[in-house]
Chain A
Amino acid sequence: MVNTKTSFETETPVSRGNLQRMLRNSRKLLFPLAALILILIGNWLISPNFFNVRIVDGRMLGSIVDIFNRGAPTVILAVGMTLVIATKGIDLSVGAVIAICGAVAAVLIDQTELSPFIVIAISIGAGVLCGLWNGVLVAVFDIQPFIATLILMVVGRGIAQLITAGQIAIFNNPTLEFVGKGVVLGLPFPIILSALVLILVYLMVRRTAIGLLIESVGSNDRASYYAGIDARAIKLFVYVISGVCAAIAGLIITADIRGADANNAGLWLELDAVLAVVIGGTLLTGGRFYLGLSVIGALIIQSIQTGIFVSGLPPTFNLIVQAVVILLILFLQSEEFRRPFTRLFMRMRKQS
């Protein structure tokens, strides 16, 4: 009997569904996690003291800590990028936004008497504005995401240059430096910050309906519109979040080098972020997204880079290795690529 007025208070056993959901997700988890572990083992083979952690002056040191520390900006970007890609979008401007927000922070702290906390807030506000710009172009003007965000990618570094007047803006402020260099409970602050961003965004999308609505819009935006979802607002939201994440990453990078380099801050980081998300299993065609797996993807990228570094190979191999990894993953995701192999596999199974 269908009763549309039921208050749905009946408790049904949910443990079974939960378990199945976990199993389903754990299968997804397997591939990136195994990749990360393999790469870490590889690193360990190359350099046997890879996992050693020393504590010097109450601060943990070691390659493994380094991966989390250096990878923090990519992790944060990947969190924002995951949401954008889940809506079938992409944000190519995050590198430029890093430069803008870094420049804003560095110039304000150096040339004004503002409290560092206000400076940080203004810098994040700049990230919100950048995200709004992208979001309006995509959601309101209905411009293809990669083209819409390309505009800011072109202009952004110019804006950052203007803010820093073409110089590398150097500053000296312990509070702002803390964002990049501080230590909390023995851990570098960027690690804490990236964990905080992950947890906050996770709570924001998974403890509200936003995550479900994002997945719905990314999976079938027409049906979502018919179901009464405000797809426009959802898209605006994800680009703003991406802008905020880029601003935070920009603050870390700027604080770390105590200066804003409009030319090189965040250069190519948008690609690292996209790659991290794709490794994490979120499809470029939108739909289901996995924040945690994107973070693992970002750590994989950082581990490769750190691995190249500890192996003594010149860091110039970074780009090639990354390109090969991205291509391999794209191939594995492409049905057209898999088809001949699947057929071969089926034939072999039939024969045996």
Chain B
Amino acid sequence: MRSRIFPLIATFIVFAVLYLIGWQRFPAFGTTRVIANFLTDKSFLGIAAVGMTFVIIAGGIDLSVGSVVAFTGVFCALAIGSLGMHPVIAFAVVLVIGATFGASMGAVIHYFKIPAFIVTLAGMFLARGGAFVLSQESIPIEHPFFADVSSLYYLFPDRGRLSVIAVLFLITLFVGIILAHFTRFGRNVYALGGNSTAALLLGVPVGRTTISVYMLSSVLATLAGIVYTLYTRSGYPRAAIGLELDAIAAVVIGGTLLTGGVGFVAGTFVGVAIQGVIQTYITFDGTLNSWWTKIVIGLLLFFFIALQKFLTSYRGNFFVLRRRRAAVAPAEGTS
């Protein structure tokens, strides 16, 4: 068995069990309505989580995604509402801003050798602060484009609606999978996270890859912000607080190793789905505090981090080569 898939199998089992529990109690779990709603509700989280998957596989972290979503929303709302831009143009502009933002964070991380979590923490402040400076209130967006988009959907036989943003999520997911597994960039990301020194020696352009990864994450966070705007038809500077944590949880639960090098974009989808199932269950139940979602996700996060720790340190043939480590002769000194 390929042991790197083991966490992913655990994820699938957790998902299946949760889903079956839900289905058993609420038969509606099986309808396309619930499934389509989940895809729509979780689309912005899912899109951001795809970007986060790349960052974590590369051995980094991006804490700025929630703030980028909020900034995107406020920016679009103002550009459309006050400047009279067409939404598509506003989206294009904000995507460019997002890409620049992410690339700058990546460059600071790579060139100044500052830990990623601190740089993206500053990025989180900056983006959230930017959103607050633009507006402190929620700005509603009135534009026919938004109505057009939300009237566009595919209707399943049992009245489930596959919305445009759900489709955007699925496309992002698909592109993410292709990018991760079938392009040189994707494999370079894996190599970087697996062993950055070796990656450099094997000819991976480390700087370019690092910058690209953070750019990708910010672009996808911006796209998540656009989806969020389409979903809520407003821009709100306090939107998506803590989204980065949900995204990290989805990635880790989805079988991606927090230390980098191993991970699956498809697994992240399951991680998002698990969050969706928990939330749907709690909503259906009606008596449970919605904060149970956070607690259950936190516990799953702990469970999967513990699982990763166990697999990486106690299984001889997993990622740490114990044999190699145990048998080292004293290293050549400062000769």
Contacts and interface: CB of A to CB of B under 8 A. Distances in A.
Residue of B118, B119, B248, B297 with highest tally of chain A CB at under 10 A: B118
Contacts of B126: 319-320, 323-324
A265 interface: no
Interface in B115-170: 115, 117-119, 121-126, 128-130, 132-133, 136
A322 B123 CA distance: 11
A162 B112 contact: no
A157 B291 contact: yes
A143 B133 contact: no
Contacts of B291: 157-158, 161-162, 166, 262
Nearest to B252: A147
A351 interface: no
Contacts of B125: 271, 319-320, 322-323, 326
A151 B301 contact: yes
Counting contact residues on chain B (CB < 8 A from A), the size range is 35 or more
A144 to B, nearest CB: 7
Nearest to A147: B258
A331 interface: yes
Contacts of B305: 143, 147-148, 151
Interface string A129-162: 0000000000001111011101111110111011
B17 interface: no
Given A157-B291, A319-B126, A336-B111, A146 B117 contact: yes
Interface of B is mostly: helix
Interface string A244-288: 000000000000000000100001000100100000000010000
Residue of B117, B292, B293 with highest tally of chain A CB at under 10 A: B117
Residue of B124, B294, B313 with highest tally of chain A CB at under 10 A: B294
B295 interface: yes
A317 interface: yes
A316 B123 CA distance: 16
Contact of B113 (A143, A155, A316, A334): A334
Given A154-B245, A154-B249, A166-B289, A141 B309 contact: yes
A314 interface: yes
A157 B132 contact: no
Contacts of B309: 141-143
A330 interface: yes
B30 interface: no
B160 to A, nearest CB: 30
Contacts of A316: 129, 132-133, 136, 237
B59 to A, nearest CB: 11
Interface in B295-335: 295, 297-299, 301-302, 305-306, 309, 313
B46 to A, nearest CB: 18
B122 A159 contact: no
A162 B245 contact: no
A321 B132 CA distance: 12
Contacts of B132: 314, 316-317, 319-320
A336 B294 contact: no
B158 to A, nearest CB: 33
Given A143-B305, A330-B122, A158 B245 contact: no
A159 B118 contact: no
B122 A155 contact: no
Contact of A336 (B112, B119, B289): B112
A318 B258 CA distance: 32
B295 A155 contact: yes
Contacts of A37: none
Given A142-B309, A155-B294, A158-B294, 12 more contacts: A90-B117, A150-B245, A151-B302, A154-B249, A154-B294, A157-B294, A162-B289, A320-B126, A323-B123, A323-B125, A330-B119, A335-B113
30 contacts: A148-B305, A151-B298, A151-B305, A153-B245, A154-B297, A154-B301, A155-B295, A155-B298, A155-B299, A158-B294, A158-B295, A162-B291, A166-B289, A166-B290, A166-B291, A271-B121, A271-B125, A314-B132, A314-B133, A314-B136, A316-B133, A316-B136, A317-B132, A319-B129, A320-B132, A320-B133, A322-B129, A327-B122, A330-B119, A334-B113
